[in-house]
Chains A and B, each alone.
Chain A
Amino acid sequence: MDAAYNLARWILRDDRDAQDATQDAFLRAWKFFRTFRGGDGRVWLLAIVRNACFTFLAKQRPHEAALPFDDEIHQIEAEVAGPAAALLQSSDADTLRAALEELPAEFRETVVLRELEEMSYKEIAEIAAIPIGTVMSRLARGRRLLQQAIVRRLQEESP
């Protein structure tokens, strides 16, 4: 239950909407549990939650659902030196939360499933219905964006 709500809350960034989506997902899950073909119930349920959220996004906030397609993670942007590891570790929960909320929905979803729910790549791939390669590239890009957002926020806080 917490995992379902947590995912919905992070994708939708709104408590009310997340509650509605979680409820919708549970009712759908109950109705369609015949389609459950065994395997991991948690993955199956989160996939339903995730779909409910993105359906909601597409309907209510179409501008958010669009994914930017400049997918160049495999280009080495790492030549721009990243922040020091210690700097990242000094960031507090508010900074992290704000930085994570700033990511585009697809990246946010992948990072939340990996870092907060500690799902494996295979499980994330099943939940988001994407290939494992895409999980890897979304995670890589999501983490890079997240680092940049954190650093920017830390700099804004202490000029």
Chain B
Amino acid sequence: MNCTVAQPLLGALVDGELALREGLEIEEHLRACPGCAAERNRLIALQQTLRRAPLRFSAPAGLEAQIRTKLPVVEKPAALAPRKTMPFRLPLPWLAAAAGLVAALFFSVAVFRRPSAEAGLAREAVDNHVRSLLANHLVDIATSDRHTVKPWFNGRLDFSPPVVDLAGDGYPLAGGRLDFLGGRVVAALVYHRDRHTINVFLWPDAGMRQSAAPRASERQGFHVIPDSAAGMSFLVVSDLNAEDLVRFTTMFRARVGSATGP
């Protein structure tokens, strides 16, 4: 390798974006060429300096809240951060919507086991799923270790959600988050499958229908699977294909069942 070939690749070397063989060839060239080696050192120095300096801008306080007020999420006011100003300036249609929501909530609690209530939950779960991706707030605790995720929920929830490890089956754990669903705080476990994200919303209640085999319904391009095991209801949401998501749910259910057993 000579300088003409090596020069344009130095950046990629510093960024760890070279294939192994290319990297080794360049390293060999660098040992023989002080000019290219100096350039590599400059790039590393520049990178370290940029990363060490406080150059990232944080979003101003209030921007997120301001955006949230403009997002159409009237279905779940309680899930939003409480905003003091809102009740004073609610226009009539919002009040009507809120009243409708309260009525709907009572109704859905009363007929919780009905499929229509389940559809409402599924819709909410899809909204939560999208919001978790949009707001760049996928996890509160990011780790693939279930022994870290599970204790994290202690004191944040009034129940202890089962956290199972499915990495061996190709569904590594990404972390956990608190979320709000169906009028209560629930645990959200986040798993990955290739580049897809799976949100599992969990709460204690055996009420969710459990069919012999999990079935995925489609909603706005996402797949939703309601299921329950060991006294926990859960909703699995992802853009993953239905088949893989059903496979995931089946394994998840089985592990939850055995994890919380005697």
Write the nearest CB–CB distance from A139 to chain B, whole angstroms.
5
B60 at the interface (CB under 8 A from A): yes
Give the complex CA separation of A139 and B46 in angstroms.
12
Query: Are the CB atoms of B134 and A86 closer together than 8 Å?
Result: no
- Asked if A3 contacts B136 (CB within 8 A), the reply is yes
Docked CA distance A6–B49 (Å):
18
- Is B72 located at the chain interface by the 8 A CB criterion? yes
Would A88 and B46 be within 8 Å (CB), given that A1-B59, A34-B220, A116-B55 are in contact? yes
Chain B residues near A27 (CB-CB < 8 A): 67, 70-71
Of the candidates B12, B49, B135, B239, the one whose C-beta lies within 8 Å of that of A88 is B49
Select B48's contact among A41, A89, A118, A143, beta carbons within 8 Å: A89
B58 interface residue (CB < 8 Å to A)? yes
- Who on chain B is nearest to A117 by CB? B56
Residue among A23, A38, A93, A139 with max Cβ neighbours from chain B (10 Å): A38
Complex Cα distance A97/B7, Å?
A: 26
Note all chain A residues with C-beta closer than 8 A to B133: 36, 41-42, 44-45
Interchain nearest-CB distance for B114 vs A (Å) = 28
CB distance from B62 to the nearest CB of A (A): 9
The contact string, 1 if C-beta is below 8 Å from chain B, for chain A 74-118, is 101010001111101101110011001000000000010011101
Q: Does A128 contact B (CB under 8 A)?
A: no
The answer on a CB contact under 8 Å between A1 and B137 is yes
Q: Closest residue of chain A to B126, judged by CB? A: A33
Q: Tell me if A's interface is mostly helix, strand, loop or mixed.
A: helix
Residues in B66-114 with C-beta less than 8 Å from chain A: 66-67, 70-72
**A45 and B239 alpha carbons, distance in the complex (Å):** 16
Chain B, Cβ-Cβ closest to A121: B17
Chain B residues with CB under 8 A of A34: 220-221
Q: Which residues of B contact A111 (CB under 8 A)?
A: 50
Contact B55 A82 (CB under 8 A): no
**Which of A45, A78, A89 makes the CB contact (< 8 A) with B45?**
A89
Query: Judging by beta carbons under 8 Å apart, are B49 and A89 in contact?
Result: yes
A146 and B46: CB pair below 8 A? yes
Q: Which of B35-43, B158-166, B246-254 contacts A (4 or more CB under 8 A)?
A: B35-43
> Among the listed A29, A45, A73, A143, which residue makes an inter-chain contact with B43, where contact means beta carbons less than 8 Å apart?
A143
Interface residues on B, range: 35 or more
Q: Which residues of A contact B4 (CB under 8 A)?
A: 76
- Among B49, B72, B130, B136, chain A packs the most CB atoms within 10 A around the CB of B49
Give, as a whole number of angstroms, the nearest-CB distance from A81 to chain B: 8
Chain B residues with Cβ below 8 Å from A156 are none
Residue in chain A with minimal CB distance to B197:
A41
Could you say which residues of chain A place their CB within 8 Å of the CB of B42? 82-85, 88, 147
Please, which residues of chain B bring their CB within 8 A of the CB of A96?
49-50, 53, 55
Cα separation A20 to B77 with both chains bound (whole Å): 24
Which of A41, A74, A120, A140 contacts B138 (CB under 8 A)? A41
B60 and A15 form a contact (CB under 8 A): yes
B182 interface contact, C-beta 8 A: no
Kindly state whether residue A157 has any CB partner on chain B within 8 Å. Answer: no
Q: Is A9 an interface residue (CB 8 A)?
A: yes
Are B50's CB and A4's CB within 8 A? no
**A71 close to B (CB within 8 Å):** no
In the complex, the answer to whether A136 meets B11 with C-beta atoms within 8 Å is yes
Closest 5 CB pairs of A and B: A41-B133, A5-B59, A85-B45, A38-B239, A93-B53
Known: A15-B60, A34-B221. 19 other contacts (CB 8 A): A1-B59, A1-B136, A23-B67, A34-B220, A39-B196, A41-B134, A41-B136, A41-B138, A74-B7, A76-B3, A78-B35, A85-B42, A88-B45, A88-B46, A93-B53, A97-B55, A100-B50, A136-B12, A140-B11
Q: Please name 23 pairs of A and B residues whose Cβ atoms are closer than 8 Å in the assembled complex, sorted by A.
A: A2-B56, A5-B57, A5-B60, A6-B57, A6-B59, A23-B67, A39-B195, A41-B136, A74-B7, A74-B8, A78-B35, A82-B38, A82-B42, A83-B42, A88-B42, A92-B53, A96-B55, A97-B53, A115-B50, A115-B51, A136-B8, A143-B11, A147-B46
